[in-house]
Structure 1
């Protein structure tokens, strides 16, 4: 499976989770300690344009309003997020998206394949966060999870230094690939609301 196919599958999985979040679940806690469902949705909406722009080798300035100030009332935030996921998957499916260097919302150039891998990890891990918080299950995709485990293993230490990942949670050596990913990102695979 290609990197672009991994991203497409990750976006499809997260899309399904988003479509099944009920309005009364927005205040539910998530395994991502600093976010409830509402804040995690805002996080995805806020950073989403930068994720797609990175595939096009563009830098998109952050929205004028802060992440926490995004308003989810009065609009169809789920449709907005689904459309954003579609645009991100389309952008990373274009020839050349995974080649050369790109930016991730700032001036620092990074290998496009590294940024693309980070986008896949973001979609898979936050998809699990939202699914767990709202009582959903994410379909198992072994090829996708193998790819994500490799990407997380390459960047886990750097992610912890940047505050993107929490302290590693030790999981048994016999743990599933998903549980290994979650542990590396600082999540407890047995977390429950």
Structure 2
């Protein structure tokens, strides 16, 4: 699978999850401890434009200094989030997105492959968070999960230092690729609502 297909594959499953979230589930807890469903949706809406912009080599500022300072879940949040996920996937389906360097916010340029990998991993990880919180059973293909596993394995220490990953959760070596990904990023694969 080429890098150009990764975001699209991750986005397809994330969009299915978004479409199946019911209004009465917005206050449900998620495995991402600091977020309930509404706050996680807000987080995705908040960071979507900067991540899309990074794929286009454009700096797009989020609407506030932090996602806790703004609520973007008013109105038809599901349609807005679905559209944003689609735009982000489209931006990262272009060859130029993965070339050279780019930035999300601020002056620091990072390898585009690192940011692209982060985008794909975020779609899978937060998709899983939302699915667990709302009783869904999403399915990601093996190639996509192998890519995500490689990415999070490579960036785990940096992710923890930045606060993006929690402390590693021990999972058996015989666990599925998804469960091993979840353990690396600090999620308990057995988390239940």
TM-score between both structures, scaled by the size of structure 1? 0.97
* Cα distance change of structure 1 residues 162 and 175 upon mapping to structure 2, 3 Å threshold: same
1:172-183 alignment, distance < 5 Å = 172-183=172-183
* Cα distance change of structure 1 residues 173 and 65 upon mapping to structure 2, 3 Å threshold: closer
Tell me, yes or no, if structure 1 residue 29 matches structure 2 residue 42: no
Paired with 1:85 and 1:61, the residues of 2 have a C-alpha distance of: 17
* Deviation of 1:72 (Å): 2.0
* Deviation of 1:139 (Å): 1.1
* Cα distance change of structure 1 residues 168 and 64 upon mapping to structure 2, 3 Å threshold: closer
Paired with 1:72 and 1:81, the residues of 2 have a C-alpha distance of: 9
Paired with 1:65 and 1:180, the residues of 2 have a C-alpha distance of: 33
* Deviation of 1:66 (Å): 4.7
1:109-124 alignment, distance < 5 Å = 109-124=109-124
Paired with 1:30 and 1:137, the residues of 2 have a C-alpha distance of: 14
TM-score between both structures, scaled by the size of structure 2? 0.97
Aligned-residue CA RMSD (Å): 1.1
1:1-193 alignment, distance < 5 Å = 1-64=1-64, 66-68=66-68, 69-73=70-74, 75-193=75-193
Moved over 3 A (4+): none
Return 5+ residue gaps in structure 2 as ranges: none
Return 5+ residue gaps in structure 1 as ranges: none
* Deviation of 1:57 (Å): 0.9
C-alpha contact 2:27 2:37 (8 A) present in aligned 1: yes
* Cα distance change of structure 1 residues 57 and 39 upon mapping to structure 2, 3 Å threshold: same
Q: Deviations over 1:75-97 (max 9, x none)?
A: 10000000001100111112311
**Matched pairs, number:** 192
